[in-house]
Amino acid sequence: MTKVTMTEPNTNQVYRIGIDVGGTNTDAALLDSNLHCVHKVKVHTTADVNEGIVEAVRRLLQESGVNGAEIRYAMLGTTHCTNAIVERKHLGRVGLIRIGAPATTAIPPLAGWDESLRTAVGPHSYIASGGYEYDGRKIASLDEAEIVELANRMKGEVDAVAVCGVFAPVNRDQEKRVGVIIREVLGADMPVTYSSEIGSIGLLERENASVLNAALLQVIAGVVRGFEEALNGFGIHAQLYICQNDGTLMKSEYALRYPILTIACGPTNSIRGAAHLSGLTDALVVDIGGTTTDIGVLVQGFPRQSSAAVDIGGIRTNFRMPDILSIGLGGGTIVRLDGADGVTVGPDSVGYDLTTRARIFGGDTLTTTDVAVKLGRAVWPGTNADAVDEAVCHKVDAVMQQSLEDAIDRMKTSADLVDVILVGGGSLLVPETLAGASRIIRPDNYDAANAIGAALGEVSGESERIYSLDDWKYDDVMQDAKESAVNEATAAGANPETVQIVSVEDIPIAYLPGNALLVKVKAAGKL
Amino acid sequence: MNKAARLTTLDEQAIEYIAIGAAVLGTGGGGDPHVGKLIAMEAIRKHGPVRIVQLEELDDEGLVVPVSMIGAPTVMLEKIPSAEQLTKPLDLMERELGRKVDAVMPIEVGGGNSLVPVIAAAQRGIPLVDADAMGRAFPESQMVTFHLEGIPCSPVAMADERGNSALMHTIDGVWEERMARALTVEMGGSASICDYPVSGAQAKQSAIGGTLTLAYEIGRTLFEAKQEKLNPVQELLTKLNGHALFHGKAVDIRRRMDGGFTRGEAVFEGTGENKGKTMRLFFQNEFLLATVDDQPLAITPDLITLLDQDTGMPVTTENLKYGARVTVAGLPCDDKWRTPKGIETAGPRYFGYDFDYVPIETLVLKGGAAQ
C-alpha cells in the first residue's frame, strides 16, 4: 500500500477524497493532484450510513497523514436513494401534475405502483391540460387557472412537486411554466422536478422516475448534510460532489435536485475507476465482489447505458441507467457437489462468514475462494488448502470460467476480442486467460476501483430530441445535438475547455414521416 | 386447444398473461404491449371484468367492430391515448351504420393492439371476441384476413385525442392503409381506428378464432414454467406444437429506415446442436424470413418469434442486441394466410424477399429443425 508521509502541508498538492458506500462495505480513497491513489480504506457499511463515512474519512486522514485542510474536493457515491425506495422509508409526499389532457387519460398516474409506495407519495396526482406532439407542435394549451387550482389542493400536503408533460423531452416550455405557477402558489421554496430533466421518451416511465426523484429530495438533502458535517468535523472544507449513475459527478447543489440520478452509481464508479487504473478507455470491466460479479462496458471512458426500461423497487422507469450484467459469482459463492460427477456453483454465498465457513479456514462449506487458493491462484496466509479436493476444484474452475466467459460475451457488441479489466476483492478467482478476452488486466488498487472512480471528477450534460431529416441536414442535426449537450455539461459545472462528446446515439423511428430520428448525445468535462 | 379451456372473462391476471403472449405473437414487432396492458387494467378496474365470447357464440346478424391504434409505437409510449378516443371511432361507426355495435375485437393479437379494445368493451358493457384478423402482428392495415376474403374495410373511423375524428370510405384495404397513415401523421403520429365492421357471420367465416386464449396460454405457460423452474422455451414449444428452428447467439444486427419502416437483418451463430451453422432473420418491423445457409426455414406469413433461451421471454427487433442467446421459434400461420391471396398480401415477395412461400412444416421436415 502506498503511503505518503509529509511533515508540513504541501501547497502544491490538491487532494480529493472519493467515497463509495456499498451494501456491505464503504470504500474510500485519497487521490493527489495527478489522480494517483495515495491511500485507501475499507470499512463496514453501518446501519446509519454516515457513521461508516465518518470512520472511513477518519482512517484515511490518520493513516495517510494528509491534512484535512488540503482536501479540495470530496466525492460521494451512495446507495441511500436506492435503499429509500426499496424500503419505502424516508420518502417525501409528492404532488404530480401530468400535462397531458385530453391525451393520456386512458392510463392514470402511478398505474402499476404498489400500495405502499402509493401511500408514501400521497394522493395528489392529477392530469392537467397540455402536451406536445413528437415534432414540438402543441397538442393542447395549458390552462393556468387549472394549475393554480391543483396547486391549491396540494397546499400543506406535499413536500415536492413533479411535473411531467407529453413530449417534454422535445419541448419543455409547458413544464417550466407549470413550475413557475406552482412556486407562485406553494412558495418559492417548493422543490419542483421536471420530467424533461429526468428521463427520456416514454411518458409513464419518465413520470414514474420524476415522482421517485421528487420523493427522494429529503433523502438526498440528508445525505449531503451528513457528508458536509462529516467532512467539516475533520477540518475538510472541500467542494462537494455526488456521483451519478453515468459515471460523472454533480455538484451537491445539483444533486439536491436530481437524487434519482445517484441510483446504481456504485457499478459505474467501479467502471470509471477501472478505466483510470488501467489507462484504457474501451474495455469490459468485471467487478467481482463477495456475492456477485457485475460486468459493465467501458465506452470512450464511460459506462455504456442500458437501453431498456429499468425497474426500481418494482416501479418501471426509463431514466438512464448503466448497462450492467450481474451473475451470482463472487469470492464467497457456495460450491455443491451433486452425485458422482457434477458440481453446482452458487448462486448463494457465505457472505461475511467466509473466514469461518470456508474450508481453508476450517469451515464446512466449499466456496470459490477455497478453489482459487487450492489452485494456487491466490495466497491466503495461515490457511490450509489440504481439506480441499483438487479434482473437484478443476471441475468448479471450469464451471466458473464458463459462466464468466458467457457473461462477458453477452456484454460485447461484436465478436471481436476485448480487453477485460478485473477489479473488486473477488477478482483473484479469475484465471489468466478467458475466451473472448484479448488481455486480462488486473490494475494496482483494483480493490478500491469504486472509491477511486468516485473521486475522478468529470461532469456531464445530455441532449435528447427527435429531428426530422426532411427539415434538417444530418450534419446540422448532429451539430445541434452536440452543442446542446456541451451547454448542459458546462451548466452542470464542467470546465468548458475540457468538455468532450462522449457518446452519440441516433435511432430511426418507425412509422413517422420525414425520416424522424431520435438523437441522444452526451458530453462530459473535467472539474 | 379444446374449447372448454377458452377464456370467458378478462380479469387482471388474464391481462398480464395476454400481454406476454401478445409480445410472443408480435413476432418481433407489434409495439410494446405494456401500454395496452395498463389501458386494459384501468378499464376493468373502473368498469369491472370484461366478458369474452367465442366466434361461434356470435349472432350472425350482430355487428362486430375491431378497435385498434395505428401509428408509431414510439409515439404511443409517450402520447398515451385518451379514454374517449378509444371509443369515439365506435360512435362514428354506429352513427354511420345506424345501429349499435354488439361486440368488439382486436384487429391483431400481436403486440400492443391485442388489449386496446378492452376499454371499449368494458365501458359499453359489450363482449370482446376471442379472435383477431391476423393471428399475429403485421405492419400494414390491409394485412388482415378480412381483406383476403374481400370484406370491405369501410367505413373506417379514426380519432385523435384532441377530439378530431374522421370517417372514410376507401375502395380497399390498400387505400385505407395509405389514407389512414397520412391522417395518422397529421394527428401527431398515433390515432385510434375502427375498420372492417363485420357481421357475426362474416367474423365466423373470416376472423381467426381463439387467439386471445392462445395469447393467454402463452403467457401462462411462460409464467408457470418460471414458477416451477422448468425450461420455458421447451414448455412453450410443446404447448404450441411450435418448431425450434435454431438455437443461437445474435452476432450482427443491421437496421435501416425504409418507407417509414424499420427493415433489416439479424445474424445468429449457432449454439448447442446448431454449432457451426448461421441463421439469418430478415425483418420489416416483424420477423418475416429465417434462413440457414441461405435456405429458408420459415417464411412469412408463418410466425417467426425470438425467445430468450433462459427466460423464454420474447425479444423484439428493437431490443435485439449482439450476444443475445435466443431460440428462434416458428409457428404455422392460420390456413387463411396460406391461400394465393394470403401469400400475395403477406407472403415473402410482397416484402421484397426473393423466395416462394413454403409452409414451415414442409421446410422443417426438409431442412431439419434444431430438434
Nearest CA to A70 out of A5, A151, A16, A126 is that of A16
Nearest CA to B368 out of B295, B280, B313, B306 is that of B295
User: What are the distances in angstroms from CA B226 to CA A7, B78, B219?
Assistant: 63, 31, 11
pLDDT band, very low/low/confident/very high, at A6 (cuts 50, 70, 90): very low
CA-based angle A112:A115:A121, to the nearest 5?
90
Q: Does A284 have pLDDT greater than 90?
A: yes
**What DSSP character marks residue A433?**
-
pLDDT in tens, A115-145: 999 999 999 999 999 999 988 889 999 999 9
pLDDT in tens, B179-200: 999 999 899 999 999 999 999 9
Distance (Å) from the alpha carbon of B81 to chain A's nearest alpha carbon: 5
Per-residue pLDDT, A348: 85
pLDDT in tens, A340-372: 678 888 888 887 788 889 999 888 899 999 999
With a pLDDT cut of 70, the percent of chain A lying above it is 95
Q: Taking all residues of chain A, what is their mean pLDDT, rounded to a whole number?
A: 88
Per-residue pLDDT, A509: 65
Contacts of A106 in chain B (CB under 8 A): 39, 42-43, 80-83, 86, 119
The answer to whether the CB atoms of B80 and A108 lie below 8 A apart is: no
pLDDT in tens, A69-122: 999 999 999 888 888 888 888 999 999 999 999 999 999 999 989 999 999 999
Q: Which B residues in the span 112-131 are in contact with A, Cβ-Cβ below 8 Å?
A: 119
Distance CA(B301)–CA(B350), nearest Å, equals 11
Question: Could you say which of A112, A139, A415 has the minimum Cβ distance to residue B161?
Answer: A139
Distance CA(A464)–CA(A481), nearest Å, equals 7
Which backbone phi and psi does A504 adopt, to 5 degrees? -135, 130
Instruction: At A77, list the grid cell.
Output: 457515491
Per-residue pLDDT, A140: 95
Q: pLDDT higher for A172 or A451? A: A451
Per-residue pLDDT, A432: 84
> CA neighbours within 13 Å on the CB side: how many for B219?
24
B328 membership: H or E segment, kind and range: strand B325-331
Question: Could you say which of B42, B184, B323 has the minimum Cβ distance to residue A111?
Answer: B42
Contact present, A193 and A210 (Cβ < 8 Å): yes
The answer to whether the CB atoms of B262 and A508 lie below 8 A apart is: yes
Nearest CA to B365 out of B309, B268, B295 is that of B295
What DSSP assignment string belongs to A56-88? HHHHHHHHH---GGGEEEEEEE--HHHHHHHHT
Q: Does A4 have pLDDT greater than 70?
A: no
**What DSSP character marks residue A45?**
P
- Exposed / middle / buried, residue A58 (Cβ in 10 Å: 0-12, 13-18, 19+): middle
Instruction: At A492, list the grid cell.
Output: 452542470
B235-242's contacts with Cβ under 8 Å and 24+ in sequence apart are: B235/B312, B236/B24, B236/B307, B236/B312, B236/B329, B237/B329, B240/B331, B242/B329, B242/B330, B242/B331
Per-residue pLDDT, B358: 96
Find the Cα–Cα–Cα–Cα dihedral B162, B74, B173, B297, rounded to 10°: -170
Instruction: At A496, list the grid cell.
Output: 468548458
Per-residue pLDDT, B145: 97
pLDDT in tens, A368-390: 999 999 988 888 888 888 878 88
- Spell out the SS3 assignment of A251-267: EHHHHCCCHHHHCCHHH
Average pLDDT of B156-161? 97
Q: At what angle do helices A217-233 and A203-215 cross, to 10 degrees?
A: 40
Question: Could you say which of B72, B319, B323 has the minimum Cβ distance to residue A412?
Answer: B323
Average pLDDT of B127-134? 98
Distance CA(A429)–CA(A414), nearest Å, equals 26
Average pLDDT of A442-467? 87
B72 part of contact set with chain A, CB < 8 Å: yes
Q: Does A55 have pLDDT greater than 50?
A: yes
| A202 contacts: CB under 8 Å, gap ≥ 6 | A309, A318, B77, B78
pLDDT in tens, B324-354: 889 999 999 999 999 999 999 999 999 999 9
pLDDT in tens, B86-108: 999 999 999 999 999 999 999 99
Distance (Å) from the alpha carbon of B75 to chain A's nearest alpha carbon: 7
Nearest CA to B25 out of B133, B106, B131, B136 is that of B136
A105 part of contact set with chain B, CB < 8 Å: yes
Indicate the residue type of B216.
Y
Instruction: Count the neighbouring beta carbons within 10 Å of the beta carbon of residue A498.
Output: 13
Q: pLDDT higher for B216 or A14? A: B216
Nearest CA to A441 out of A290, A214, A286, A258 is that of A286
pTM (predicted TM-score) = 0.85
pLDDT in tens, A513-523: 567 777 888 88
A121 membership: H or E segment, kind and range: helix A115-121
The answer to whether the CB atoms of A409 and B321 lie below 8 A apart is: no
With a pLDDT cut of 90, the percent of chain B lying above it is 77
pLDDT in tens, B164-182: 999 999 999 999 999 999 9
Instruction: Count the neighbouring beta carbons within 10 Å of the beta carbon of residue A286.
Output: 29
* SS3 (DSSP) at A153: helix
Nearest CA to A59 out of A75, A71, A42, A72 is that of A42
| B341 contacts: CB under 8 Å, gap ≥ 6 | B148
Residue B298's beta-bridge partner residues?
A: B290
Instruction: At A326, list the grid cell.
Output: 450481474
B47 part of contact set with chain A, CB < 8 Å: no
Nearest CA to B40 out of B98, B99, B122, B109 is that of B122
CA-based angle A509:B33:B80, to the nearest 5?
65
